[in-house]
Structure 1
Amino acid sequence: MVRLVMGSQDSIRYFPRKDLVETIHGLLTSGLTHALTMFAGRRMGKTLFVKQELLPAAETWRWRAYYIDLWVRRDNPELGLVEELEGFVEQKQTLKKPDKLLAKAGYGSTGIQAEWSGASNPEIDLQGRLKRAMRALVGQGNESVLLVVDEFQTLAAGKHEDFVSTFRATMQELQPQLKLFFTGSSRDALNSMFRKRKAPLFESAMPLPLPELGADFVEDRAVIFQEITGKSMDAAELGKVFNKIARVPMYLNQIVLHTMVSLTADPWEGFSLWRKALGDQGAHEQWVKLKPVDKVIVGHLASKQPISLFSAEFSAKVTKLLGEEKPYSPQRIQTAVNRMVKNMVLAPKGEAGEYEIEDRALEIYVAARMQGFLIN
């Protein structure tokens, strides 16, 4: 009997990306850059790569390696970053200024008393804590230090404008001993921090793409299926399924597990079971919560139609589908798109006027259920 555990890529053997590890090591030791950024959509395997390969590899290089996930601290990413850094330092209590200092001086029965409060400006204090923590962490030894910050783009929506500038100044001060590896799942937010001319970290890190897994990954999944079930799976058909799900590794792992449960060796049967589970696990809920115009836009993007969202042709299509008397102008469509970007339904692709569905699960769900164009 196969026990199915969904939602974890660790439930099936990890597929290594050895060449990527070697590329990162080569870049960070080249002297040409001391910081890298890696963008990849959610569920594409970047965090798993960091934990399964990059951090263990850093230990073999005799580096000290530290990992911070800002996504879990996204409500207050600046404080989260500082507290995580302080937590890595052995005696973090020496890093913080006391909330209050009291000084007394006197002679006989007379005297004066002065009080200083260190909590009067929390923004400045947070920047001070950041600098002290980074310096103390790197200063614990002479070896290279690799700091990996996952979902770094959460700082783009931070509360303190000078915080990222302080981070940049301190990281540059500590290089080349300090090496940094930033990951992010929002291309637009990362660009706003690293790629735009007025960005706080403009050109301070080199972009490195996460390569898509290919046929060797698919074949390895088929081998795992045979090892566990004793049945042979058609790797070519599994590859077609992989293309169908936008080449998301986590989803293919889940489909292989569903195929095991189906008691067949047909990956399409696993895909069918996975699609039903996908609807139950949130994609359908996302879809039904969208406004009518949002559904038209998302459906258009999921179907990969070449027509621009802001063309007269698409405006006419939206107007007709929604049955509105007043034409649905490109400006109104842009308003809907901006709202969905803010709500992380859509994401800019980098080119002006081009967008994609942020959540691959929603994209696959919508594409699979569409027959013509469904709004409800």
Structure 2
Amino acid sequence: MTDARDAATPSTAVEGVALADLPKVSLHDHLDGGLRPGTIIELAAAAGVDVPESDPEALGGWFRAQSDSGSLVEYLKTFDLTIAVMQTEEGLRRVAREFVEDLHADGVLYGELRWAPEQHVQKGLSTDAAVEAVQAGIDEAVANVEAQGGWIRAGQLVSAMRHLDNGVEIAELALRHRDVGVHGFDIAGPEDGFPPSRMKDAFDLLLAEGLPITVHAGEAAGLASIRSALIDGHALRLGHGVRIREDIEIVSDDGEAVGVRLGRLAQWVRDRRMPLEVSPSSNLQTGAFAAWGSDFDDHPFDTLYQLGFAVTVNTDNRLMSGTSLTRELGLLSDAFGYDLDDLLTFQLNAAEGAFLPLEDRVELQARIEEGFGLD
């Protein structure tokens, strides 16, 4: 498997425009996957948690190396360390504050921070206190950005761990905080063997109360997982969703592609412009598109884009992939020859799919177009 980080340094500009300066939207970004290595070292020392490296750069390298396994299950094991240092109000608040500040530095105008509060109660915090601590960090970061003349908005996606079966409890937690920072709901963790149908009661409750839902599906499991996310999970977006490619047939004649045939599931997702929260580097690390190759340019992202799917670009876990949205856009541009119009499309897709009221999405899209020089 080729690690995207082993490739040539990705482009930092397209058509002479610095990618770092382009306005972006981050829909799929895990809070416990985006810590600064230096912060982990400091919080670990205070909590008595062992770390494999005491130097921030070396620790960042350790996370990337551990994550390049080609397996989602192995990839997820790196979170044991980050979660261990996020067990106090102070730790959660700091991590959330720095997370949003790092989003702003990456050009993000709107970000959704997904995380599982049930994993952060090992030292006595209640899940409500944990959510409040994260929101305090988000609010502090937004205020800091605005004090420096910048602009960013961010919200929480409360996740239930799909293998712990606490779906209704976590859904009720999300609903309690929906007016004070929680923008939506997600399920995370091992996908294969833990279909969304296990938490159907939670999803039904959220649908009845009108809280938006996204579901990890089509990453470590295939079409059945995606179908369950839509039917049982009432998903408005698909977390990753790259294995929808399994429902697309390339029609060939004497070895030459002459057409494309979409299955009913793929056509449903495409025709309804359901956003796919694609995280290219992460997908390479976890083997999510191994059926089509092992290099970055084998990713089905471009196939889905050319066929009209509402693809969005995300980082998934900045720490584990050693990446940023700027870097992901550079990698995609290098692999598929995208220009500024393409990159604009990806951001507008994300803004349209954001778990925000319509008027806020319209404002966000206007800010994006202005940032791309379309005012």
Class of the TM-score when normalised by the shorter of the 2 chains: under 0.3
TM-score by length of 2: 0.27
TM-score by length of 1: 0.27
- Whose RCO is larger (CA < 8 A, sep 6+)? 2
